[in-house]
Amino acid sequence: MKIPSRTEAEGMLNEAEGMNPGPWVDHVRYAARAAETIARELGDMDAENAYILALLHDIGRRTGRSKFRHMIDGYRYLEGLGYPDAARVCITHGFPIKDIDTVLHEKDVPDADWEFARKFLASVEYDDYDSLVQLADIVSMPHGYVLIDKRFVDVALRYGTTAHTAERWRAFFAVRDSFERRLGKSVYTLLPGVVENTFGFTE
Ligand SMILES: [Fe+2]
Protein backbone atom coordinates (compact mmCIF):
# COMPACT_ATOMS: atom_id res chain seq x y z
CA MET A 1 0.00 0.00 0.00
CA LYS A 2 1.45 3.37 -1.05
CA ILE A 3 0.79 5.50 2.01
CA PRO A 4 2.98 7.60 4.33
CA SER A 5 4.30 6.27 7.63
CA ARG A 6 2.44 7.10 10.83
CA THR A 7 5.11 9.65 11.76
CA GLU A 8 4.95 11.30 8.36
CA ALA A 9 1.14 11.37 8.45
CA GLU A 10 1.18 12.98 11.93
CA GLY A 11 3.59 15.60 10.57
CA MET A 12 1.27 16.31 7.64
CA LEU A 13 -1.67 16.73 10.01
CA ASN A 14 0.27 19.07 12.30
CA GLU A 15 1.29 21.20 9.33
CA ALA A 16 -2.31 21.25 8.07
CA GLU A 17 -3.56 22.27 11.50
CA GLY A 18 -1.16 25.23 11.40
CA MET A 19 -2.56 26.23 8.00
CA ASN A 20 -6.25 25.78 8.91
CA PRO A 21 -6.88 25.14 12.61
CA GLY A 22 -10.34 23.89 13.55
CA PRO A 23 -12.43 21.09 15.03
CA TRP A 24 -11.72 18.94 11.97
CA VAL A 25 -8.31 18.08 13.44
CA ASP A 26 -9.73 16.50 16.61
CA HIS A 27 -12.34 14.78 14.43
CA VAL A 28 -9.69 13.02 12.31
CA ARG A 29 -7.65 12.08 15.39
CA TYR A 30 -10.69 10.28 16.82
CA ALA A 31 -11.42 8.72 13.42
CA ALA A 32 -7.85 7.40 13.18
CA ARG A 33 -8.05 5.74 16.60
CA ALA A 34 -11.45 4.24 15.73
CA ALA A 35 -10.17 2.78 12.46
CA GLU A 36 -7.10 1.36 14.22
CA THR A 37 -9.15 -0.17 17.01
CA ILE A 38 -11.72 -1.75 14.68
CA ALA A 39 -9.01 -3.11 12.35
CA ARG A 40 -7.10 -4.62 15.28
CA GLU A 41 -10.26 -6.25 16.61
CA LEU A 42 -11.08 -7.69 13.18
CA GLY A 43 -7.64 -9.27 12.97
CA ASP A 44 -7.60 -9.49 9.17
CA MET A 45 -6.91 -5.80 8.45
CA ASP A 46 -3.70 -3.84 9.04
CA ALA A 47 -4.38 -1.59 12.03
CA GLU A 48 -1.43 0.71 11.29
CA ASN A 49 -2.60 1.36 7.74
CA ALA A 50 -6.16 1.87 8.96
CA TYR A 51 -4.96 4.53 11.42
CA ILE A 52 -2.92 6.39 8.81
CA LEU A 53 -5.67 6.35 6.16
CA ALA A 54 -8.30 7.64 8.59
CA LEU A 55 -5.93 10.30 9.95
CA LEU A 56 -5.46 11.69 6.43
CA HIS A 57 -9.02 11.42 5.07
CA ASP A 58 -9.77 15.14 5.57
CA ILE A 59 -6.22 16.41 4.95
CA GLY A 60 -7.59 18.53 2.08
CA ARG A 61 -8.83 20.92 4.76
CA ARG A 62 -5.23 22.14 4.91
CA THR A 63 -6.13 24.61 2.15
CA GLY A 64 -8.71 26.43 4.27
CA ARG A 65 -12.45 26.36 4.71
CA SER A 66 -14.15 24.44 1.92
CA LYS A 67 -17.02 22.10 1.19
CA PHE A 68 -16.66 19.44 -1.52
CA ARG A 69 -13.29 20.96 -2.46
CA HIS A 70 -11.54 19.43 0.57
CA MET A 71 -11.92 16.01 -1.05
CA ILE A 72 -10.27 17.08 -4.31
CA ASP A 73 -7.57 19.07 -2.49
CA GLY A 74 -6.74 16.09 -0.27
CA TYR A 75 -6.67 13.72 -3.23
CA ARG A 76 -4.32 15.94 -5.24
CA TYR A 77 -2.05 16.63 -2.28
CA LEU A 78 -1.49 12.96 -1.43
CA GLU A 79 -1.40 11.81 -5.05
CA GLY A 80 1.25 14.48 -5.70
CA LEU A 81 3.36 13.10 -2.86
CA GLY A 82 3.20 9.60 -4.39
CA TYR A 83 0.57 8.17 -2.02
CA PRO A 84 -2.34 7.11 -4.28
CA ASP A 85 -3.74 4.63 -1.72
CA ALA A 86 -4.10 7.44 0.83
CA ALA A 87 -5.31 9.90 -1.81
CA ARG A 88 -8.31 7.76 -2.69
CA VAL A 89 -9.90 7.86 0.77
CA CYS A 90 -9.96 11.66 0.56
CA ILE A 91 -12.74 11.13 -1.99
CA THR A 92 -14.21 7.71 -1.14
CA HIS A 93 -14.89 8.50 2.54
CA GLY A 94 -17.81 10.76 1.64
CA PHE A 95 -19.47 8.43 -0.83
CA PRO A 96 -21.01 5.27 0.60
CA ILE A 97 -22.84 5.33 -2.74
CA LYS A 98 -20.32 5.60 -5.60
CA ASP A 99 -22.10 8.42 -7.37
CA ILE A 100 -21.06 12.07 -7.35
CA ASP A 101 -24.71 13.10 -7.59
CA THR A 102 -25.32 11.81 -4.04
CA VAL A 103 -22.82 14.39 -2.75
CA LEU A 104 -23.47 15.93 0.63
CA HIS A 105 -21.64 19.19 0.08
CA GLU A 106 -22.08 22.13 -2.23
CA LYS A 107 -20.13 22.09 -5.49
CA ASP A 108 -17.34 24.56 -4.71
CA VAL A 109 -14.94 23.32 -7.41
CA PRO A 110 -14.60 23.97 -11.16
CA ASP A 111 -16.52 21.69 -13.54
CA ALA A 112 -13.33 19.84 -14.47
CA ASP A 113 -12.73 18.77 -10.85
CA TRP A 114 -16.35 17.73 -10.48
CA GLU A 115 -16.14 15.58 -13.61
CA PHE A 116 -12.85 14.12 -12.44
CA ALA A 117 -14.52 13.03 -9.18
CA ARG A 118 -17.51 11.64 -11.10
CA LYS A 119 -15.26 9.41 -13.22
CA PHE A 120 -13.07 8.47 -10.26
CA LEU A 121 -16.07 7.30 -8.21
CA ALA A 122 -17.63 5.44 -11.14
CA SER A 123 -14.41 3.50 -11.76
CA VAL A 124 -13.02 2.82 -8.26
CA GLU A 125 -13.69 -0.51 -6.54
CA TYR A 126 -14.04 0.03 -2.80
CA ASP A 127 -11.92 -2.15 -0.55
CA ASP A 128 -12.14 -2.80 3.19
CA TYR A 129 -10.10 0.32 3.96
CA ASP A 130 -12.39 2.65 2.03
CA SER A 131 -15.33 1.21 3.97
CA LEU A 132 -13.52 1.32 7.32
CA VAL A 133 -12.63 5.01 6.87
CA GLN A 134 -16.28 5.73 6.01
CA LEU A 135 -17.32 4.09 9.26
CA ALA A 136 -14.56 5.74 11.34
CA ASP A 137 -15.52 9.14 9.89
CA ILE A 138 -19.19 8.95 10.83
CA VAL A 139 -18.71 7.72 14.40
CA SER A 140 -16.20 10.50 15.15
CA MET A 141 -17.05 14.03 16.15
CA PRO A 142 -14.48 16.57 17.40
CA HIS A 143 -15.47 15.84 21.02
CA GLY A 144 -15.42 12.06 20.63
CA TYR A 145 -17.42 9.05 19.49
CA VAL A 146 -21.16 9.17 18.98
CA LEU A 147 -24.05 7.09 17.74
CA ILE A 148 -24.05 7.38 13.93
CA ASP A 149 -27.68 8.49 13.99
CA LYS A 150 -26.66 11.45 16.16
CA ARG A 151 -23.91 12.46 13.75
CA PHE A 152 -26.31 12.25 10.80
CA VAL A 153 -28.63 14.71 12.48
CA ASP A 154 -25.68 16.95 13.37
CA VAL A 155 -24.55 17.03 9.72
CA ALA A 156 -28.12 17.53 8.45
CA LEU A 157 -28.52 20.51 10.77
CA ARG A 158 -25.23 22.04 9.61
CA TYR A 159 -25.46 21.41 5.86
CA GLY A 160 -29.14 20.66 5.27
CA THR A 161 -30.46 17.59 3.46
CA THR A 162 -30.72 16.58 -0.20
CA ALA A 163 -32.90 14.18 -2.20
CA HIS A 164 -30.20 11.55 -1.52
CA THR A 165 -29.92 11.93 2.25
CA ALA A 166 -32.01 8.89 3.24
CA GLU A 167 -30.28 6.76 0.61
CA ARG A 168 -26.86 7.82 1.97
CA TRP A 169 -27.91 7.05 5.53
CA ARG A 170 -29.04 3.57 4.48
CA ALA A 171 -25.71 2.99 2.73
CA PHE A 172 -23.74 4.11 5.81
CA PHE A 173 -25.85 1.83 8.03
CA ALA A 174 -25.05 -1.03 5.63
CA VAL A 175 -21.32 -0.31 6.07
CA ARG A 176 -21.74 -0.38 9.85
CA ASP A 177 -23.78 -3.59 9.65
CA SER A 178 -21.17 -5.35 7.54
CA PHE A 179 -18.40 -4.50 10.02
CA GLU A 180 -20.58 -5.50 12.97
CA ARG A 181 -21.28 -8.88 11.37
CA ARG A 182 -17.53 -9.42 11.01
CA LEU A 183 -16.86 -8.21 14.55
CA GLY A 184 -19.70 -10.25 16.00
CA LYS A 185 -20.67 -7.27 18.15
CA SER A 186 -21.71 -3.67 18.10
CA VAL A 187 -19.00 -1.30 16.88
CA TYR A 188 -19.91 0.99 19.78
CA THR A 189 -18.55 -1.54 22.28
CA LEU A 190 -15.08 -0.66 20.92
CA LEU A 191 -15.45 3.12 21.10
CA PRO A 192 -15.14 4.79 24.52
CA GLY A 193 -17.48 7.61 25.50
CA VAL A 194 -20.35 6.92 23.08
CA VAL A 195 -23.01 7.04 25.79
CA GLU A 196 -21.67 10.27 27.33
CA ASN A 197 -21.14 11.97 23.96
CA THR A 198 -24.46 10.90 22.48
CA PHE A 199 -26.79 11.21 25.41
CA GLY A 200 -25.06 13.74 27.64
CA PHE A 201 -26.99 16.94 28.19
CA THR A 202 -25.78 20.36 27.15
CA GLU A 203 -26.17 23.20 29.60
FE1 LIG B 1 -14.16 13.39 8.18
pLDDT in tens, 118-157: 999 999 999 999 999 999 999 999 999 999 998 899 889 9
Three-class secondary structure of residue 201 per DSSP = coil
User: What spacing in Å lies between the alpha carbon of 191 and ligand 1's midpoint?
Assistant: 17
85 occurs within a structural domain? yes
Low-confidence ranges of the chain (pLDDT < 70): 201-203
Q: How many CA atoms lie within 13 A of 73 on its CB side?
A: 16
**Under a CB-based contact definition with an 8 Å cutoff, are residues 140 and 100 in contact?**
no
User: What spacing in Å lies between the alpha carbon of 27 and ligand 1's midpoint?
Assistant: 7
Phi, psi of 83 (to 5 degrees): -120, 65
63 occurs within a structural domain? yes
69 occurs within a structural domain? yes
pLDDT at 203: 61
Closest C-alpha to 138, from 155, 124, 125, 122: 155
pTM of the model: 0.94
What CATH number has the domain bearing residue 131?
1.10.3210
26 occurs within a structural domain? yes
Parent domain of 70: 6-199
Count structural domains, the chain. 1
User: What spacing in Å lies between the alpha carbon of 107 and ligand 1's midpoint?
Assistant: 17
1 occurs within a structural domain? no
Q: How many CA atoms lie within 13 A of 136 on its CB side?
A: 33
